[in-house]
Amino acid sequence: MKPSICIDSVCRDMELTEALSLVKSSGYDAFEFWNWSNKDIQLMENAMKRLGLSVATFCTQGGSLVDSETHQAFLDGLSETVKVAQRLGCGTLIVTAGNELPEVSREAQIENIVIGLRSAVPILEATGITLTLEPLNTAVDHPGYILARSDEAFDIIDQVGSEHVKVLYDIYHQQITEGNLMATMLGRLSSIGHTHAAGCPGRHELHTGEIHYANVFHALQSAGYAHYVGLEYFPSQDVVSGLEKTRELFNR
């Protein structure tokens, strides 16, 4: 289990090279981000080599899984994103499902998600990349999003039936949506390809809020979770001191 800093949230006011330098100087070896199209990929690649950093994951772009009419745009965007991932040596990508379509039944939209993800499998298998589907909370941050509960996300990837399609389990989002964090994660550990973490409530540093992250991380580590934990929070204090306190949670 390895931590990864989301530079679009933790370092949101910094230039790219400044953010990556901070990742390294704070004792971390990996980072992640949201969109790649607004990043200077060559600059990122150069900084990664200079600092010895790895990219844990980032988001694919294009289309909406709930809308079958945009599935080709999703596949085109995935193909382009995969090229960037290969260039950066990144083996995991993130996809969101999209917002609910009021004119389409929920059952049909869920089926569209399954169909869209199945259509991505040949691209993923050919490149060895894993695509992670992320449920998001709809109560606070993402009203209207189609997929809030983790059990529904797990059911979707079960229907897809590929080792290259897994769930991104965001601990912050799922604490808001359903709780029961450790039992859920440990029960479906092999289906989780990435995790996100932030303090809850507030989405700030991990040592703030109600989640006992030291216990959560210890349970994941003991169970053999070998993927990244993305630190996707918005600082409420000095960025460096917050990262230092967060790093301690992985060492208990």
Q: Which domain holds residue 155?
A: 2-249
Clarify whether 125 is annotated catalytic: no
- Residue 168 is predicted with a pLDDT of 99
Q: How many domains does the chain have?
A: 1
Per-residue confidence band for 251, with pLDDT thresholds at 50, 70 and 90: confident
- Here the CATH number for the domain that contains residue 179 is 3.20.20.150
- Active-site annotation holds for 111: no
- Checking if the pLDDT of 102 tops 90, the result is yes
Selecting among 80, 103, 134, 244, the annotated active-site residue is 134
Q: Choose the catalytic residue: 32, 111, 152, 232.
A: 232
Q: What is the DSSP string of the chain?
A: -EEEEETTTTTTTS-HHHHHHHHHHTT--EEE-S-STTS-HHHHHHHHHHHT-EE--EE--SS-TT-GGGHHHHHHHHHHHHHHHHHHT--EEEE---B--TTS-HHHHHHHHHHHHHHHHHHHHHHT-EEEE----TTTT-TTBS---HHHHHHHHHHHT-TTEEEEEEHHHHHHHT--HHHHHHHTGGGEEEEEE--BTTS--TTSBS--HHHHHHHHHHHT--SEEEE----SS-HHHHHHHHHHHT--
pLDDT tens digit sequence for 8-57: 999 999 999 999 999 999 999 999 999 999 999 999 999 999 999 999 99
Report pTM.
0.97
Cis amide prior to 201 (ω within 30 degrees):
yes
> pLDDT tens digit string along 201-228?
999 999 999 999 999 999 999 999 999 9
